[in-house]
Amino acid sequence: MPIHQVAHRYAKSLIDLANEQGKLDEVHEDMQLLRTICKQNRDFVNMLNNPIIVSDKKLRIIKTVFSDKVQKLTSAFFEIITKKHRENILPSIAEAMHIQYNKIMKIQEAKVTTTYALDDQMRAKFKEIVAHFSGRKVALTEEVKEELIGGFILNVGDRQMDASISSQLSRLNYELTKNLYQKKI
**pLDDT at residue 109, as a whole number:** 96
Please indicate whether residue 106 or residue 133 has the higher confidence score (pLDDT).
106
Check residue 183 and give its pLDDT.
66
For the stretch 4-45, pLDDT in tens is: 899 999 999 999 999 999 999 999 999 999 999 999 999 999
* The CATH classification of domain 3-103, taken from the options 1.10.520.20, 1.10.260.40, 1.10.600.10, 3.40.50.620: 1.10.520.20
The domain made up of 107-177 is a member of CATH 3.40.30: yes
Nearby residues of 75 by Cβ (< 8 Å), 6 or more positions away? 63, 66
Burial 43-54 (b: 16+ CB within 10 A, else e): ebbebbeeeeee
pTM score: 0.82
What pLDDT was estimated at residue 3? 87
Annotated domain spans of the chain? 3-103, 107-177
Q: What is the mean pLDDT of residues 121-127?
A: 95
Given this model, what pLDDT does residue 185 score? 64
pLDDT tens track for 60-119: 999 999 988 999 999 999 999 999 999 999 999 999 999 999 999 999 999 999 999 999
